[in-house]
Structure 1
Amino acid sequence: MEGNIIRQVGHELYEFRDSSGTVYVDIDNKYWMGQTASPADKIHIKGEVDRGWDGIKIDVKNIQVMK
């Protein structure tokens, strides 16, 4: 998926937006690998869909900031 992280909503939980809409993404600190991203930065993420009692979110396994 490619889009933007709009805001941080929890410790490792972020709101992500792409052309299809918004979804929460869970990004463990270890996957950032020293990268930082602002809402203006385009990012590419890969992960698994997690359907829980609290809704759908993406459990991110790889993130790349497209600066």
Structure 2
Amino acid sequence: MKTKLTLLTAAILLASTSAFANYTGGSQGGFNGPSAGSVTVAEAKQRGDDAKVILQGNIISAQGGEYYTFKDSSGEITVEIDHDVWRGITVNPEDTVEIYGEIDKDWTSIKIDVDRIIKVTN
């Protein structure tokens, strides 16, 4: 019985190794195109706490510290962008940006904690 189990395990490992050996792709990159997971501010406000979101719009004002007002065609929301997330990017209210982050809900407010920001070139 032990021999059969050992042979079966070896066969499974060999089969999975040969499947990986067929991969001939280049770098382990990801999708490069329109953001399939992009949502509007209105949709983001309906998501649950800690939900990952991608939004595209404009940062229209600074609220102080690391807090800003983000706006798209559906509304406005507060975003928190830590200083290191900016990575030297400078934007103004006319610049379109794409932000990647997560919903941060508590009893009285909702905001987006931004992990990454990209200035979109039109």
How big is each residue's C-alpha offset from its partner over 1:29-62, in whole Å with a ceiling of 9 and x where there is no partner? 1010000000000000010000024400000001
Cα distance in 1 between the residues matched to 2:90 and 2:108: 27
Identity across the alignment (%): 46
Alignment size in residue pairs: 67
- Which of 59, 70, 85 is equivalent to 1:16? 70
Ranked by relative contact order (alpha carbons within 8 Å, sequence separation 6 or more), the top structure is 1
Which residue number in structure 2 is paired with residue 38 of structure 1? Answer: 92
Aligned partner of 1:9: which letter? Q
TM-score by length of 1: 0.94
Give the number of the structure whose alpha-carbon radius of gyration is greater: 2
| Ranges in structure 2 where 5+ consecutive residues have no aligned partner | 1-54
Which residue number in structure 2 is paired with residue 3 of structure 1? Answer: 57
Which residue number in structure 2 is paired with residue 47 of structure 1? Answer: 101
The structure with the greater share of residues assigned to helix is 2
